[in-house]
Structure formats: C-alpha cells, structure tokens
Structure 1
Amino acid sequence: MVSLKDIASACGVSVATVSKALNNHTDIGADTKARVQQMAQEMGYHPNAAARTLKTNRTYNIGVLFIDGNHSGLTHDFFNHVLDSFKRTAEAHGYDITFINNGRMQNRKMTYLEHARYRNFDGVVIACVEFSEPEIIELVNSDVPVVTIDHLFNNRIAVMSDNVGGMQQLTRYVIGKGHRKIAYIHGLPSAVTSARLSSFYKTLEENGIAVPDEYVREAAYRSTDETYRETRSLLELDEPPTCILYPDDFACIGGINAIREKGLRIPEDISVAGYDGIEIGLHMLPQLTTLAQNMDAIGATAAEQLIDLIEKPKTTLIQPNIIVGEVREGGSVAAPRS
C-alpha cells in the first residue's frame, strides 16, 4: 500500500506537504500541490478509510431510505433517476451510499434510526416513504442530519418538485389548446397529491372553468389497472371529458389502453397528458405530453444539501428547495373536436 511517506520521497517534499496537498490546503504553492496530487494518482494512493474517519469523525457514508409502496425498488422509473443523480453527486464529493432497511439486532428488527446509528451514517436522505409513520418521524426528529425529497418537515431541509407550479403549467397548457372538459385522475392521498389537486382546481377556477365531481378520480401512482378502470368510467359518462390528466406517465398507459379499447383515437377524439417526464413517454405513439420534472436536479440538490448539512451544520439553511419542471409537448394533446 502506498503511504504518504512514499509520495513525499518521490516528490522530494515533506510528509506534511503531501498531507496538505492531498487535503487541498491553500498554504502551499499551486504547482507543488498539483505535482503531489499527480504523483499520488500515478502511484495508486488511496487514503485509509479508518484513518480518515478518526481524523474527521465522519464515515463518508450516507444512508438512503427509499420504500416504494408498489415494491418496484430501483426499477421505479422516476425515483431511479433521482437516486442515480443523488448517488453520482455524493460520490463526486467522496461519499458512499448505503440503503437503510429493518435489519435485525438482538433477535428483533432495528428501527430506521437504530440502523442509521448502527451503520454510523453521516446523514440520511428519505424519499418515497409514508412520512407519517412513527419510525420515519423518529428518524426525522433525531440528531442525524436528514434531507427529505418531496415532503416538508418544519425542522428539516426538503427538496421539493414544484408540484403546484407544475400542475398549473400543465392545466394551462391543455386549456390553451381549447379544452374545457378536463378530467384529472390523481394519485392516492399525500402531500404531493394535495398540492397538485389544489393547483388543478385553482387553475380551472382562474380560467372560469367548472369541473364536475365525476371528472376527478383517484388511482394509485403507477397503477395501470386502476387508471384503466377510472378511464373507462370517465368515457361512459353522458358528457365525457375531452382531455384526461393522469397521475404519472406510467399510469397513463392504463388510460390509453382503455381509450383505444373504446375505439377512440389520441388526440383526434380525446387528449391525454401525463406527469413526470420519464423516458417511456418519449416512445409512445403519439409521444406523450407531460409535465417533465427535473429529476437530475432533484437528486443532485438533495445530495449537495445533505453534504452541506453534514460538513457545515452551523451555516446551512434549513429550508425547502423547490425544483421547477416544464411542460414537454408531445402529440397526445390537440384541440377538442367541435
């Protein structure tokens, strides 16, 4: 194993100078620093993790708590992009990530907080969980640095997609195409759903459009079966909608199947729009109109905020970080038939 002494000997400098160069100190010359860092790389030097932990009192390991209700895990087509961005950003700052689970300790399940402490995580990011669960509340209220994604606690940093603004953009877009009979199949109750639903109602109201109660339906996120059933019910109304908004792009597939079974064409007979901007929408025919969330920015911002909280706890602001998305215009929304 290459040591600091080996690098110092190869560069003709002191061990102290090598240490300062590798830790990016400013009290040595730029040329010397670059030469030492280049030599360390060529010699295959890697800092000893245990020694670094003793020196900094940090493990450089971040816990990820991610529990998808549909048990899709890392195949989840929205959060897999968010978590990949989080991972890449954390690794660029020298951190590893480990997923949190209910491991066992003394013949019983550990809580999430116990697991975080057992692994000695420097911090934890929480995404796609039931945030009202007691174990989640316990972890959030602990002394472990935490950042949440798409849920706001008063005392924690949150990274939030602009759900209010996103739904406003999407609803205004379909109104701009001439639609007045707009249905919305929203997700199951959550902070995200509440924000989008309120924004939907408010945007219609601002444009003088009334929405019948039967136009607003509920289906689980990513459930093609439920959106299929709700879409069939909408199409059987005496006055069916001319446009249907779906809880997410993946669930939209179920609605499209129901529409085509009915012998209707998209967008000639009825328009549809999704939410998220996942890749599958780009391959639909016609290409799906959707509110594309900035998944890379959500993940990267969560990592940067958590690392700031770990490394600079006294100066990092505890506040929500709102990430704006944009309407991605496909071919699934057109003017309604007169």
Structure 2
Amino acid sequence: MVTIYDIAKKTGYSVTTVSKVLNNYKHVSHKTRKAILDAVEEMGYLPNSHARTLTTKKSWTIGVIFIESLGVGMRHPFFSAVIESFRKDVEVLGYDLLFASRMINNQQMSYLEQFKYRGVDGVVIVSSLFDDPQVEELLESSIPTVVIDLNVREAAVVHSDNFKGSYEATEYLYSLGHRRIAHIAGHATTFAGQERRNGFYTSLTSLGLEVPDSYVVDGEFFSKEGGYKAMNQLLQLSEPPTAVYAAGDMLAIGAMEAVKEAGLSVPDDLSIIGFDDIELSQYVMPPLTTVRQDTTMIGQEAATLLLHQINTGEEVTDSIVIPVTLVKRGSVKSLQRVDKIT
C-alpha cells in the first residue's frame, strides 16, 4: 500500500509538505502542489480513512445539497458538470461526497439535522432558488459552507457572471443589425434568471432601444418545454422579433423547435442565442450560439473556498464571480447589408 512517505520519496518533498498538500493548506506553491497531487494520482495513494478520522478529527465527508425545479436531479447538464469538477478536486485529497436525503432511518430530517447526524466536515449547496428555509437554517449554522449559482451574504459563493454574459449576448445581436430583440427569461425566483434578465434590459437601454413588454416572456425554470411555449408566444405577435436571447440553452433549444414547427428557419428567419454551453448545444442544427459557463472553474473555486474553511476554521463570505465567454456558432445571422464590390 502506498504511504505518505512513498509520495514524499517520489517527489523529493518532505513528509510535512506532502501532508500540507493533502490537507489543502494554502501556503504551498502551485508547482509543489501540482507535483504532489500528480504523484498521488499516479501512485494510487489512498489514505486510511479510520486512521485519518482519529488523527485529524475529521469525517472526510462533504455534504451536497442540490436544488433545482425541473425534477431532473443530477441529470441537469450544468449542475452535474459543476459537481463533477468539485468532486475531482476534493476526491484527490481524500474526501467523499454525501448527497442529502430528507429521510434517515425512516425519519424526516432537515438538511442541517442530517449533516450533523452524519458529521460532515462541510457542505456545498448547488441552487439558483432564493428563500429555501432549509438552506437558510444551514447557512446560519457553524458548518463550513459554500454556495454555487446563488448570491447570499451569509456564506462563500461562486457563480458565473450572468449579468455580463447577458449584456454581451444582447449587444452581439445588436451589432449584427438586429433591433427587434426578445428575451426568453428564466424564472424570476432564480438568481440566474434575475441577473440574465437585468443584463438584457441594461444592454438594450444603453444602446437606446426600448423593450416592449411583449418581447420578454417567462420561460419558467429553464426547460425545453418552457422555451418552446415562450417562442410560440413570440411568434404570435403582429411584429415578431428577428432575434431572441434565451436565458438558458434548453430554453433556446425549445425555442428552435418551435421556430421549425412554424415552418420558419433558424437563423434565416430568426436568430437565437442561449446561455450555458451545455454539450448538446453544439450538436443541434444549426449549432447554438451561446454564452459558455466555465463549469470546471466554478467547481474548483468552490472546492478551494470550502476546504480552506474546513482546514482553518475561518468563516469565509467571499463572492467569486467566474467569467463567461460568448461562443459564436450557426444559430445567429447578420442583418447588415454587405455591398458587393463592383
């Protein structure tokens, strides 16, 4: 069995330095940390969980709360990618993930009660919804916590720059000559939905365009069905838009389906932009122009924030905003005339 001494011998670093890396102490250089973690993975180092628990007073378990309103659970493409990134970062240090269940021994328990019962070292909350009393109770507790995709003051948070991504997506449509630009919005009870709607409005206002109320349609909770219904509503207008910015890729994909069923073409008759850059977006026809969220960085930053709290006992309320990128594909068309050279 590979030991911490074997890792030290292979890398040339002291046992103390290896131990600091394995316990995610901050004051270790990136080069040193990478060399040790690479050796850990290469040599298949697996620390003895019972011994670690006795010596470190940790359970080496991190609780996971996952809240979304579509009922698809971990099949949700954005959230599953974020959790996978988070898992990779904490697993290499010996942590296991425990997904929350409201029932233990046939007794209903709150998230806080369950995690106290399990003795987790920390909790990651993945949610876009405001005002969940179970989450609020947990945030008020002493358990180290990090929140993904929501902005709260009581805890460390990591989320994408939803506002800027929406602003740039709308500005891009304008730069291509579109002036009748509509928005299929995410539900107003979600942080992402609010921020993306605000980015859309702010962008068009700064460009001097008024947004008719009929051009902003609720796509509900970012579902394909919600996008389909919203797009049909926009197509019924006496003056329909030439372009639509949808607050999520599944909304955009549903909108594209509605356009095709109406006998129209994307992008010849109507341009569409999404948000997320889920894997499916590059395979629909035409491939979807969208705003890419860096799910790898979101998971990594969340892991760093949580592990720092676990290892130091410090309460952290930092807010980390992850940059987004506009990915240009085939679902958008320019309306600007290109004069022929004669």
TM-score (norm: length of structure 1): 0.85
| Residue identity (%) | 36
Residue 307 in structure 1 maps to residue 303 in structure 2: no
Instruction: Spell out, residue by residue over 1:138-158, the C-alpha distance to the aligned partner (whole angstroms, 9 max, x if none).
Output: 011100000001112212100
Unpaired segments ≥5 residues, structure 1: 12-17, 26-33
Instruction: Spell out, residue by residue over 1:123-143, the C-alpha distance to the aligned partner (whole angstroms, 9 max, x if none).
Output: 000012644121111011100
Indicate the residue corresponding to 1:28 in structure 2: none
Query: 1:300, 1:234 → 2: CA distance?
Result: 39
Indicate the residue corresponding to 2:175 in structure 1: 176
Residues 162 and 24 (structure 1), Cα distance of their counterparts in 2 relative to 1, 3 Å cut: closer
1:318: Cα distance to partner?
2.2
Indicate the residue corresponding to 2:297 in structure 1: 297
Which AA in structure 2 matches 1:329? K
Q: Secondary structure of 2:225's partner?
A: helix
1:184·1:216 contact (CA, 8 Å) conserved in 2?
yes
1:62·1:122 contact (CA, 8 Å) conserved in 2?
yes
Query: 1:45, 1:166 → 2: CA distance?
Result: 41
Residues 245 and 122 (structure 1), Cα distance of their counterparts in 2 relative to 1, 3 Å cut: same
Indicate the residue corresponding to 1:256 in structure 2: 256
Q: Secondary structure of 1:63's partner?
A: strand
Indicate the residue corresponding to 1:14 in structure 2: none
1:247: Cα distance to partner?
2.3
Query: 1:214, 1:20 → 2: CA distance?
Result: 63
Q: Secondary structure of 1:78's partner?
A: helix
Unpaired segments ≥5 residues, structure 2: 22-34, 338-342
Which AA in structure 2 matches 1:172? E
Query: 1:313, 1:279 → 2: CA distance?
Result: 38
2:228·2:255 contact (CA, 8 Å) conserved in 1?
yes
TM-score (norm: length of structure 2): 0.84
2:289·2:330 contact (CA, 8 Å) conserved in 1?
yes
Residues 23 and 179 (structure 1), Cα distance of their counterparts in 2 relative to 1, 3 Å cut: same
Instruction: Spell out, residue by residue over 1:283-330, the C-alpha distance to the aligned partner (whole angstroms, 9 max, x if none).
Output: 12211100111111111111111111111233x742100001110000
Indicate the residue corresponding to 2:282 in structure 1: 282
Equivalent residues in 2 for 1:72-83 (5 A)?
Answer: 72-83=72-83
Indicate the residue corresponding to 1:136 in structure 2: 135
Query: 1:252, 1:99 → 2: CA distance?
Result: 30
1:185·1:244 contact (CA, 8 Å) conserved in 2?
yes
Query: 2:146, 2:301 → 1: CA distance?
Result: 10
Query: 1:313, 1:193 → 2: CA distance?
Result: 34
More divergent stretch after superposition (231-240 vs 139-148)? 231-240
Indicate the residue corresponding to 1:225 in structure 2: 225
Q: Secondary structure of 2:221's partner?
A: coil
1:181·1:243 contact (CA, 8 Å) conserved in 2?
yes
Query: 2:2, 2:258 → 1: CA distance?
Result: 64
Instruction: Spell out, residue by residue over 1:228-266, the C-alpha distance to the aligned partner (whole angstroms, 9 max, x if none).
Output: 122112112111000011121122222111111121111
Query: 1:47, 1:260 → 2: CA distance?
Result: 55
Indicate the residue corresponding to 2:24 in structure 1: none
Indicate the residue corresponding to 1:166 in structure 2: 165
Q: Secondary structure of 2:183's partner?
A: strand
Equivalent residues in 2 for 1:196-275 (5 A)?
Answer: 196-275=196-275
Greater gyration radius: 1
1:20: Cα distance to partner?
5.3
Indicate the residue corresponding to 1:147 in structure 2: 146
Equivalent residues in 2 for 1:42-81 (5 A)?
Answer: 46-81=46-81
Query: 2:286, 2:191 → 1: CA distance?
Result: 31
Q: Secondary structure of 1:142's partner?
A: coil
1:227·1:255 contact (CA, 8 Å) conserved in 2?
yes
Indicate the residue corresponding to 2:19 in structure 1: 23
More divergent stretch after superposition (290-299 vs 247-256)? 247-256
Q: Secondary structure of 1:253's partner?
A: helix
Indicate the residue corresponding to 2:84 in structure 1: 84
1:221·1:248 contact (CA, 8 Å) conserved in 2?
no
1:291·1:327 contact (CA, 8 Å) conserved in 2?
yes
1:209: Cα distance to partner?
0.7
Root mean square deviation of aligned Cα:
2.6
Q: Secondary structure of 2:321's partner?
A: strand
Q: Secondary structure of 2:260's partner?
A: helix
